[in-house]
Structure 1
């Protein structure tokens, strides 16, 4: 992940430290860069400067594989930029949030990436900040297998950098094309893989000296050469590229896989097999199927064609499994989009922002109060339900508040589409919703409540917050008079708490 520029007036007091972060990152010292970024966060009173420092920290944490530390940093960064006119900075944050979310939910990842592109494109003309943001956006698309989206963004990143006079090696991304090339090989298109790897070597040799690339990119450029050699194709290799100093999972993976490719090309495939035995490189590096494909090449070099076919079948199975996951993610995303569209249709009648919850689009507490008052004054009896999310704190703790907001939006959409026509649902506050069922007795209300609870529980939460089930507990009370609204809510709340108690007692 790249380092954003410091072309902001309020950042002038921290220019030296931002440059120090750039230098440390350029030399592969991610841990040192994090320490300097933390010092900026501790001392800066400007929210945009704080956000830029947090962006730096996020990228370095990811490079070191310390992703479990990222959610609270992301939350604070988004809070820092909230309300400010900084679309590129927000876009950069969404790009980083995308790769952090990818391990748990492809749907959330893609939402962040699409939003990142939209925010960055709001900036007039290329700036150093947009170049760096596009850099990280291209890498994230590439990591998660959207190669056709990653390549044009990577090319735009480079061309804009050249237009601005930035060093050619600072924004070069051979890794994006290398990752796409080996993906083609995993799917059986070795010819296209060879063509693309050759193009990588030719293109980037013309644009910048390979030794002037950032450390990780030197390894990717070198990997294009050793991978060609493992395929039996001639390629010139500069061994110095594999000595660049960099700490983190990505370079460690590239060293391992490159060494195995060299073993094959130098006539020692048995060593290659031993080298990668029981090793599991991160799938972001070169795809989850790369180890299996290298094993196939090693077995073929040993003339063990049966073992080679077995390994190739495994590589194909892994590669196509990833495609299946992408399709599942698309279905989940489409489902969420349809839910959101249905919710928008439900609340179009609420034109006033003062009566609408900005996060979920549902009526807010004020709107609820007015609605039930009019209902009771018209002499219409109703059932009022207090709907509370179970264990919602765990979602925010594990995945951060951004994911928590997505859960609240999804729950709101489920409630809105599951209730009957003419029923009313509002967000009352926090993780609590209220439903009003006109002309409905308590027995029927409880049946409807059970249907709501089942709909929420069946909401495919694994795709959004892996390993953290989402459910609701609902308590009901009767409303007959406007002056008894407070007592009705208190009775419904007590019924809800009793339901939670019974649930806890049954576990």
Structure 2
């Protein structure tokens, strides 16, 4: 049975209103808000669409088009693409166009449909359809061009609406939009696409969502879509949740809401109960058709109780009373009370015929026809069932159509009229949504798997965001910046790196308090993002320090960009945040040279940031990417005077940039966040390059004779090396250099060998704090190899990523992490997974093999008869040094694989299986142990850890030169 009158998504979840009623926004409610469910305008448009009153729906939408232009790409008059009103306007208009296409005999993609009439003359050419295909104000040349225009515009609207819904942070609104889009896909006969939309909507409906009318609306909409997909167990589940949510809204204390809100909540609960009762009667009738009268009786009894409750809650004269009466009549007829309900159903049919609700009339006709057939009045039953079939076919009500066909076939079979029963039977069997029980079961399992996969991917995405996002500014954090910079440098790119520090941030915190300081950090982060290109990445490094990654950018280009940002921050109105202290930034820029690593590049940029601090702050200083020397604008203004007396005595290891009036004492750096300002000197500062005291005589060597200077590295800081030189000049001592004692060359480094492999820490049964403590202890005792945490919760993985800033490797599918240095991969390990039930163990084995020091190749779903990937690509079995075969129900896979290759095989039995047939994996273990196949070793049940370590050891030793 189908009672899809309102919301346009299969069930009514709000106060019933006539579709022909004029649009009247309630006080304080904007027209855009009324268009968003469960607003009154949304209800009216949906009701008109559901009853195929397409001109009425178009008129209602046209009234809003002054505020919300109807087509993508038009002037939106202030309504942004990501607004909910825009998304719902596009969605409703797309459904309107799809319904017009259905009337013309085409799907959304322009494919012809066969609906009781001749097939259309080929598919539509959508390339000629669109807004401008038929000029405004001119008559349409033919039906095909109009349909092509409708199809092209509908596709554009669906894409626009989907993009707007995807941009929403509200998961409930996104789920509501996806459920409505699933309805549009069903109208276009795209069952697989509707299934995908329904799965994604279900994955967003977390049980912890707050109970609101919108939640009731969305749950009911999804339940109706699932019912039309013949997934009745799932439809019952979601409609039950909708009824419970609506009942909880109605049961809230009355002193907190007004009379109107209380009446609306009561009506919401009544109609949700009616929809659930309707689904119960459908399930009961299906069981009756299968000959299971005893199993059907509880469903009819529940439907009767729900319908009676709805009738008690609804006031007399409410149009929704007719719905409840139809459902109650269905339940009583299913329970065997046929004759007593005939008169009641005749009255409901008469009342429904006077209304504009064709779905309600079709339901009433079907109920009356069923009651008459079972009461022994076949001729009258035939008329009403035929009327129900015609209405259901005309208005696209698949479940009502199938029920009417089934009743008509049964009726004429009982009359021994095979000639009339056969066409109804053929139509019933030809229905494209006909599902036998076995296929229904597979669809339910598929729905659950897809939903679980989406939820896992969403949880993994959230985990990644938590691991790589700064909680205060919502910018990428240091961990992300390091990983991203490593990726850029390893790919051969030479990006520029800017290190940004907020000047005197401690003073800002002291003046505005920590909340004010946090606000400044967020605002500075946003100003940095606003001043950068889309390809640049702004990250919060630590404290009041940010880094900006500028791919394919020279130091000069980065300097100009950072100077613009520096000026914008200096000119920003900080008083709006309650900050009276000036907010300024200092920036150090370095460009990567070939061969630089992350630490070298950051040290170079950080070094020139200190120069900016010493030079007076609120400035940008860059380091040349060619000579790796610091450049300040005033250095080239005057020639170097070697006869000038020194103004201070810096470190003799390298020349220093000294400002007039500035103390060079190292203690100055302890008095502020980075360095001490010069004494209040006015005007610009001209830094001077000076020679160290007591230095030997030096001579200036012309530029033409200058030898190339290699970049300075962190090793030079520890053991000595070339000092930075000012650009364009080189100072070279004349006196001979003192003898240098050269230490003997160290032996060539050997590949690290993990004698015992990484430490394993099992997350099962341990709290997050216990796992963190064990990781700390393992890192102290064995700093040279990683500590691996397996089977950990998502919270534990997030805590590990937060505490161990570096050397953290994660795999969300395996729910595992490695903390510590991961050795370079040597050798290759192949991991074969028999089925989806074995995936967690296979992911664990693959992760452990990788962090133990081997390259890993994974192939999933190769059990049973699905060995084609291995047979068509033999390299999967031969171009590896060891194979790990993870199997539960397909435990024979290990012996099959060993017969196809000479590579050693590690077999891992799993406990995956149905019921007690797997004996907790014991049957798979016995199968593998009893195999006579050579070259196979067997691990413990579900022990991907041991298999991964063992396979990696074999691969490393096999691949060793």
Q: TM-score range by the shorter chain?
A: 0.5 to 0.7
Residue 365 of structure 1, CA deviation: 10
Change (3 A) 1:371 1:424: farther
Return the structure number with greater relative CO, CA threshold 8 A, min gap 6: 1
SS where residue 262 of structure 2 aligns?
A: coil
SS where residue 237 of structure 2 aligns?
A: helix
Q: Which residue of the other structure, out of 77, 84, 87, is the alignment partner of 1:51?
A: 87
Aligned to 2:314: 208
Aligned to 2:366: 257
> Comparing 170-179 with 255-264, which one deviates more in the overlay?
255-264
Aligned to 2:7: 2
Give me the whole-angstrom Cα distance separating, in 2, the residues matched to 1:158 and 1:64: 34
Change (3 A) 1:274 1:222: closer
Say if 2:440 is the partner of 1:325.
yes
How many aligned positions are there?
Answer: 381
Say if 2:287 is the partner of 1:187.
yes
Q: Which residue of the other structure, out of 217, 236, 250, is the alignment partner of 1:132?
A: 217
Give me the whole-angstrom Cα distance separating, in 2, the residues matched to 1:343 and 1:48: 22
Aligned to 2:57: 33
Residue 155 of structure 1, CA deviation: 1.0
Give me the whole-angstrom Cα distance separating, in 1, the residues matched to 2:457 and 2:31: 49
Contact 1:222–1:241 at 8 Å: present in 2 too? no
SS where residue 187 of structure 1 aligns?
A: helix
Change (3 A) 1:63 1:186: farther
Computed over aligned residues only, the root mean square deviation of the Cα atoms, in angstroms, reads 6.0
Give me the whole-angstrom Cα distance separating, in 1, the residues matched to 2:209 and 2:330: 41
Q: Which residue of the other structure, out of 403, 418, 429, is the alignment partner of 1:290?
A: 403
Contact 1:177–1:196 at 8 Å: present in 2 too? yes
Aligned to 2:262: 165
Give me the whole-angstrom Cα distance separating, in 1, the residues matched to 2:410 and 2:337: 10
Say if 2:112 is the partner of 1:88.
no
Give me the whole-angstrom Cα distance separating, in 2, the residues matched to 1:50 and 1:9: 21
Residue 114 of structure 1, CA deviation: 1.8
Give me the whole-angstrom Cα distance separating, in 2, the residues matched to 1:335 and 1:294: 35
Residue 76 of structure 1, CA deviation: 2.1
Aligned to 2:326: 222
Change (3 A) 1:81 1:278: closer
Give me the whole-angstrom Cα distance separating, in 1, the residues matched to 2:364 and 2:337: 20
1:86-125 alignment runs, 5 A limit? 86-100=170-184, 103-105=191-193, 107-118=195-206, 121-123=208-210, 125=211
Give me the whole-angstrom Cα distance separating, in 2, the residues matched to 1:298 and 1:63: 32
Q: Which residue of the other structure, out of 329, 352, 357, is the alignment partner of 1:242?
A: 352
Residue 184 of structure 1, CA deviation: 2.5
Q: For residues 247-298 of structure 1, give each alpha carbon's deviation from its aligned partner in whole angstroms, at most 9, with x where no partner exists.
A: 67x4575366346436535542454676678997589653675235413552
Residue 321 of structure 1, CA deviation: 1.1
SS where residue 79 of structure 2 aligns?
A: coil
Long gaps (5+) in structure 1: 355-363, 378-412, 426-443, 449-507
Change (3 A) 1:322 1:279: farther
Residue 159 of structure 1, CA deviation: 1.9
Aligned to 2:30: 12
SS where residue 436 of structure 2 aligns?
A: helix
Give me the whole-angstrom Cα distance separating, in 1, the residues matched to 2:217 and 2:389: 37
| Greater share of residues in helix | 1
Residue 186 of structure 1, CA deviation: 1.4
Give me the whole-angstrom Cα distance separating, in 2, the residues matched to 1:200 and 1:338: 35
Contact 1:197–1:224 at 8 Å: present in 2 too? yes
Q: For residues 131-178 of structure 1, give each alpha carbon's deviation from its aligned partner in whole angstroms, at most 9, with x where no partner exists.
A: 433442343344432233133223135325534524344561323322
Give me the whole-angstrom Cα distance separating, in 1, the residues matched to 2:874 and 2:402: 50
Give me the whole-angstrom Cα distance separating, in 2, the residues matched to 1:160 and 1:7: 27
Give me the whole-angstrom Cα distance separating, in 1, the residues matched to 2:204 and 2:58: 23
Change (3 A) 1:210 1:91: farther
Aligned to 2:163: 79
Residue 366 of structure 1, CA deviation: 8.7
Give me the whole-angstrom Cα distance separating, in 2, the residues matched to 1:114 and 1:446: 40
Q: For residues 409-461 of structure 1, give each alpha carbon's deviation from its aligned partner in whole angstroms, at most 9, with x where no partner exists.
A: xxxx9xxx99x984899xxxxxxxxxxxxxxxxxx99988xxxxxxxxxxxxx
Aligned to 1:392: none
SS where residue 45 of structure 1 aligns?
A: coil
SS where residue 68 of structure 2 aligns?
A: helix
1:374-453 alignment runs, 5 A limit? 422=855
Residue 54 of structure 1, CA deviation: 4.1
Contact 2:68–2:89 at 8 Å: present in 1 too? yes
Residue 322 of structure 1, CA deviation: 5.3
Contact 1:219–1:251 at 8 Å: present in 2 too? yes
Bigger radius of gyration: 2
Give me the whole-angstrom Cα distance separating, in 1, the residues matched to 2:26 and 2:165: 14
Change (3 A) 1:26 1:334: closer
Change (3 A) 1:53 1:170: farther
TM normalised by structure 1 equals: 0.54
Give me the whole-angstrom Cα distance separating, in 2, the residues matched to 1:96 and 1:33: 16
Contact 2:410–2:421 at 8 Å: present in 1 too? yes
1:138-149 alignment runs, 5 A limit? 138-144=223-229, 145=232, 146-149=234-237
Change (3 A) 1:296 1:303: same
Residue 202 of structure 1, CA deviation: 1.8
Give me the whole-angstrom Cα distance separating, in 1, the residues matched to 2:438 and 2:401: 12
Contact 1:20–1:33 at 8 Å: present in 2 too? no
Contact 1:41–1:54 at 8 Å: present in 2 too? no
Contact 1:95–1:140 at 8 Å: present in 2 too? yes
